[in-house]
Amino acid sequence: MPTDSAGDADDRDYVRSLIRGLDVMRAFSADRPVMTLTQVAEQAGMNRAAARRFLLTLVREGYAEVQGRNFRLRPKVLELGRSVLPTMTFADLAQPLLDDLAAELDETCYVTVLDGQSVVYILRASGRRLIGINLEVGSRMPAYLMSSGRVLAGALPPEQRRKWVNAVRLERHTDKTVRTKAELAKVVTEAGRQGWCVVDEEYEIGMRSLSVALGDREGHVFAAVNVTCPSSRVSVAKMNGPFLRALQGLATHLRDAMPSDGLAADLAVAGSESVALDRLAQPRG
């Protein structure tokens, strides 16, 4: 969609043609990787003649390609972000995506990491609703009863996962709380296998949560994205459908945005009983 720049339109230092070129590039997405000239013009909010000039310029400079009537971006566009990525922290990358997710779902969303038998909430984005589940950044919750905890523990190597389950102290919070370590081991393993998990009123009646694993391009899981809602407002079916797709979309976008230089290895819960949380705030050097 075109950028809203009305307030800057009369600024002599404002280069509108550059913004319109960026609008053309932003018209492409995971849902629209290939488009015709007409489709690009519609998505970018400009006429076909202007869209054609921008597209052909991108093609000439190697940032796009054309096959017949169809245009697509080329990997060269990644060079535009390569210089800034090393200076960005994990929070710099994840927070805007989390903000967009909270706005899309209209629910409060979090990013969590595993620290022993706890999950720690390290990022937060609020929806617009007045009534919701309110956990502040830095809050800790029992990992075995949180969907994020099960996803992250499920990503541990098998022997470490077994030790983690054995170390859990089971407590009955509701009638739905997991009762045995054998049952816990089963659900944790399943969460790790599929990369996501729903926990339905096991910690508190009226609270339902969904989490999806966050990993790098090599498949190392280091955190989880979470949405926690009143069960009266969001059904299990809704969590397993549109909510799950939205969280998986964030995970994919974040994975693709991350530098492939071992960031997740530095942050990984696998192989460590404690997560170095301050690493999340350090720029890549």
pLDDT of residue 183 exceeding 60, the answer is yes
**Are 141 and 202 part of one and the same domain?**
yes
Q: Where are the alpha helices (DSSP H) in the chain?
A: 16-26, 37-44, 48-60, 79-82, 90-105, 147-154, 158-167, 181-194, 236-238, 244-257, 263-267
Asked if residue 205 and residue 89 are part of one domain, the reply reads yes
Predicted pLDDT of residue 271: 31
**Which is more confident, 74 or 127?**
74
In a domain, 72, yes or no: yes
Question: Do 20 and 110 belong together in one domain?
Answer: no
**CATH code at position 62:** 1.10.10.10
For residues 80-101, average pLDDT: 73
Domain assignment present for 254? yes
Strands of 70-73's sheet, edge to edge?
A: 35-36, 70-73, 64-67
Question: Are both 31 and 102 inside the same structural domain?
Answer: no
Please tell me the pTM assigned to this model: 0.65
Residue 235 has pLDDT above 70, yes or no: yes
Domain interval for residue 161: 85-281
Structure tokens at 106: 């209209």
Same domain, 254 and 133: yes
Structural domain tally of the chain?
Answer: 2
Question: Quick check: 197 pLDDT over 90?
Answer: yes
Give me the pLDDT at residue 168, please: 93
Residues 65 and 129 in one domain: no
Q: Are residues 142 and 228 in the same domain?
A: yes
- C-alpha 285/C-alpha 279 separation (Å) is 12
Half-sphere exposure (Cβ direction) of 7: Cα atoms closer than 13 Å: 1
Q: Rank 108-122, 156-170, 247-261 by mean pLDDT and report only the highest.
A: 156-170
Residue 244 forms part of a structural domain: yes
Q: Kindly report the number of other CB atoms within 10 A of residue 192's CB atom.
A: 21
Backbone angles phi, psi at 229, to 5 degrees: -135, 160
Beta bridge partners of 64: 73
Q: Mean of the pLDDT values across residues 177-192? A: 94
Of 19, 46, 81, the position where a domain reaches its end is 81
Long-range contacts of 32-37 (CB under 8 A, 24+ apart): 33/72, 33/73, 34/70, 34/71, 34/72, 35/70, 35/71, 35/72, 36/69, 36/70, 36/71, 37/69, 37/71
Q: Is residue 201 part of a domain?
A: yes
Quickly tell me which residue has 């470490």 as its tokens. 160
Look at residue 152 and tell me if it is in a domain. yes
| 1 in any annotated domain | no
Taking each helix axis from N to C end, the angle separating 181-194 and 158-167, rounded to the nearest 10 degrees, works out to: 140
Q: Which of 21, 56, 81 is the last residue of a domain?
A: 81
Determine, yes or no, domain membership for 160: yes
Confidence of residue 9 (pLDDT cuts 50, 70, 90): very low
Identify whether residues 20 and 160 lie together within a single domain.
no
Domain-ending residue, one of 81, 106, 124: 81
Q: Say whether both 36 and 97 belong to one domain.
A: no
Report pLDDT for 90. Answer: 74
Q: Tens of pLDDT along 133-169?
A: 677 888 889 999 999 999 999 999 999 999 999 999 9
For the ranges 28-32, 56-60, 111-115, 245-249, the lowest mean pLDDT is seen at 28-32
Whether residues 273 and 214 share a domain: the answer is yes
- Give the pLDDT confidence score for residue 38 in this predicted structure: 95
DSSP single-letter state for residue 241: I
Residue 270 inside a domain? The answer is yes
224 and 276 in a single domain? The answer is yes
Q: In 3-state terms, the chain is what percent helix, strand and coil (to 5)?
A: 45, 20, 35
Q: Are 114 and 43 part of one and the same domain?
A: no
Q: What is the pLDDT of residue 267?
A: 44
What CATH number is associated with residue 167? 3.30.450.40
As a whole-number percent, the residues of the chain with pLDDT over 70 amount to 80
